[in-house]
Chain A
């Protein structure tokens, strides 16, 4: 094993900036508390089991100071799909700060309560959420602590009981330097929401985004959360997403991880009450020298809960990626059903993919399974296409596209699915020909 980098150094550089952040009293002491705990724990290294496959040493040479506000023209957002069909609300955050001038179509407040952390802080109100989920040793929550210390803004979305507002589209644009968006989404009992998030970079900016999101799905509520990550080649995204699902609630997460230099999502879902369900699906596209990592932790803490995970990864060029998924079935979570499927396709000579589909089961009335495969394209399928007169390069591209289709089909927001499809096609050889095939 190579020597670990000195991970705390980037934090040392940030320390003096903490005092300049807004918010007084309780907010300041919360920031300091989180920061001190992070300093004591240090940034994760590959020696920390949850970070075995994702090396953060690239942070050492990056500018992590929160980016200064800068004016943005609507053209900078052209890459974001227009998920506005049906009168969706679109919120723009630049380097983690809300841009009121760029927002579109605010829904009537009766079906949607929108605010921002900046507004909460300015009004001197208490934190609407909890920055940490309560891990006493901070083993898994160091990025949350980092975000919590530096976040100055981010969407705060609440859907009242039984409301079904039009979709909400949150666009995160990073322009260079550090960005620390913090998002809180709460669905009261019986509410429904379709939420789309897009992560973009301004040009080829060297941006580092450390994001934290808290999601609360109330009893019988339903949230579909679709994420399109199309960051530029020099961007880093580290996101921690913690979800709690109440009785009979349903949470769906769809991820298209297509961009960035290094991206990692830590997704933690707690099925807290009977009948709660979660469906996770994601595609990880690691071409060039890109790294795409996903770690999921699903905790079945109540009876009759169900979870379903489907992840597909492609390693091309010198791309690298990992899927690290853990399902924990707690004592008393009888009638649990859990499925995990992770498959990775390696098409680059120097590409690599790691997977770790783990099960921790402490109850006997359960049905749990996982399947994981890693390999190359099926030679028989390839032969079939070649025998139909399709050239080898196109045939391989077509099969790669088909491999990801299983995930793409689960994207329910049409414009996002199309945008993801076009991005995938654009990255494959013979893109024009492929578009004809799949049109």
Chain B
């Protein structure tokens, strides 16, 4: 290609921009996991007894489970006893009421990330529930949301202030016995976000959470629960970034969504955790369980994700379409560069009549990365008139990477209509030549072609996220041009 070699070297050797560590005095448990640790977590968080019992039940079940190894990823065995299961910034003890009370060091961290919290909040009108390690430290626009009746708070606050809602919905979509990582999360989850949108309310703003993994050797076990009551609407944005580490960090989050009659939930993610260096050293292990239940008639759940980070991704945001005429959507861009391994996709389970689902997945592999789409579309005998459309495309950049597609299509109802298409190809020499001939640099040309490849997913993202995603994609693929 026409790019001078020294310029390419610069691009290839570019460091992960978000790699830095903020030095904050944290209240961290020593590594290890047993029932006492769970009791301690529960006590520290002043939880009601039903939650402690729930955690213990999950832990006892977890002990009987084995770590799954069916995904197309390889990593060194994880020692679950070498992980610390609780870490809270001490500054949280007084409970900051506003951004002014938040530790300035913390705010500086967000600044470095390019997320000026208050500015962003004011300009974009976004409420931010920032999770720094495990305890939420700042929540904005609470009043405006409260006016509309929307509850948006850290999970631990919800446990104290709305125990009846938590008890009713927690684990109702992802039960404690669901899978190995979900069971572990249920036992030790630290904090996360809780959203409840009451009947007929349209959330006045987009809700946003920035997660960060900060304390060394602390796994993050987020728990998010979003309930959209009848006729309500909410759009939720999740974005992630982590400081550079040489030690692999485990992240096992659980996200549960519940949509009742005529409700709609839009869940968008931009995931940019530390992917490890070009030799595969370090990086986050991301083992996430995300599932939404369309319980009511005409309900709708939409997952949009842009995955560029993590050393290992194991993530299948899913929809269970219970209510008649309910709709599930999954739009995904997964980028894997260097030695990243991503095994991601979705599940659409059609139970109700005339349920519809759409899956659009774009996978990009570069360097020596492995990128896998794994999806299930299941139509049960009760789902008369169910429809699904699936498209999964892979783009390969480099001869040492891999792109894999494992779709499962299971149909038990003759009135269902399902279509699945997949293609795999590399960026065409002719496309590239055309762009270069028009005076674009190789880097810009690739970004443009990849941008076009991903466009159908990006258009589903809220606007400010779409811009960020586009930039992220460009940064992630730096050094992949060859």
CB closest residue in chain A, given B421? A371
Residues in B with CB closer than 8 Å to A371 are 419-422
Q: In angstroms, how far is the closest chain B Cβ from the Cβ of A438? A: 24
Query: Are A369 and B424 in contact (CB-based, < 8 A)?
Result: yes
The answer to whether residues A375 and B416 also contact, given A355-B409, A368-B423 and a CB cut-off of 8 A, is yes
Q: Does B228 contact A (CB under 8 A)?
A: no
Q: Does B30 contact A (CB under 8 A)?
A: no
CB closest residue in chain A, given B429? A365
Q: Does B205 contact A (CB under 8 A)?
A: no
Query: Are A315 and B404 in contact (CB-based, < 8 A)?
Result: no
Partner of B399, one of A349, A356, A363, A372: A363
Query: Are A354 and B408 in contact (CB-based, < 8 A)?
Result: yes
Q: Does A393 contact B (CB under 8 A)?
A: no
CB proximity to A under 8 Å, residues B413-438:
413-426
**What is the size category of the interface that chain A forms with chain B?**
35 or more
| A contact residues vs B (CB 8 Å cutoff) | 49, 53, 315, 331, 334, 344, 346-376
Measured between alpha carbons, how far is A213 from B388 in the docked complex, in Å?
A: 38
Residues in A with CB closer than 8 Å to B425 are 366-368
Query: Are A373 and B418 in contact (CB-based, < 8 A)?
Result: yes
CB closest residue in chain A, given B424? A368
The answer to whether residues A346 and B398 also contact, given A357-B422, A361-B403, A366-B426 and a CB cut-off of 8 A, is no
Residues in B with CB closer than 8 Å to A315 are 414
CB closest residue in chain B, given A323? B409
CB closest residue in chain B, given A378? B417
Q: Does B405 contact A (CB under 8 A)?
A: yes
Q: In angstroms, how far is the closest chain B Cβ from the Cβ of A404? A: 17
Query: Are A362 and B402 in contact (CB-based, < 8 A)?
Result: yes
Query: Are A354 and B417 in contact (CB-based, < 8 A)?
Result: no
| B contact residues vs A (CB 8 Å cutoff) | 70, 381, 394, 396-426
Residues in B with CB closer than 8 Å to A348 are 414
Q: Is the interface of A mostly helix, strand, loop or mixed?
A: strand
Query: Are A353 and B426 in contact (CB-based, < 8 A)?
Result: no
Partner of A366, one of B396, B397, B413: B396
Measured between alpha carbons, how far is A358 from B372 in the docked complex, in Å?
A: 10
Instruction: Please name the 6 residue pairs, one residue from A and one from B, whose CB atoms are nearest each other, closest first.
Output: A346-B414, A375-B417, A364-B396, A372-B420, A359-B405, A368-B424
Query: Are A344 and B404 in contact (CB-based, < 8 A)?
Result: no
CB closest residue in chain A, given B402? A362
Residues in A with CB closer than 8 Å to B426 are 364-366
Query: Are A376 and B404 in contact (CB-based, < 8 A)?
Result: no
The answer to whether residues A361 and B417 also contact, given A366-B426, A369-B422 and a CB cut-off of 8 A, is no
Residues in A with CB closer than 8 Å to B403 are 359, 361
Measured between alpha carbons, how far is A353 from B418 in the docked complex, in Å?
A: 11
Most A C-beta atoms less than 10 A away, residue of B400, B409, B422, B425: B409
CB closest residue in chain A, given B394? A361
What are 27 contact pairs spanning A and B, CB under 8 A?
A346-B416, A347-B414, A348-B414, A352-B410, A352-B411, A352-B412, A354-B410, A354-B411, A356-B406, A356-B408, A357-B407, A358-B404, A359-B394, A360-B405, A361-B396, A364-B396, A364-B398, A366-B396, A370-B420, A370-B421, A372-B407, A373-B419, A374-B417, A375-B416, A375-B418, A376-B414, A376-B415
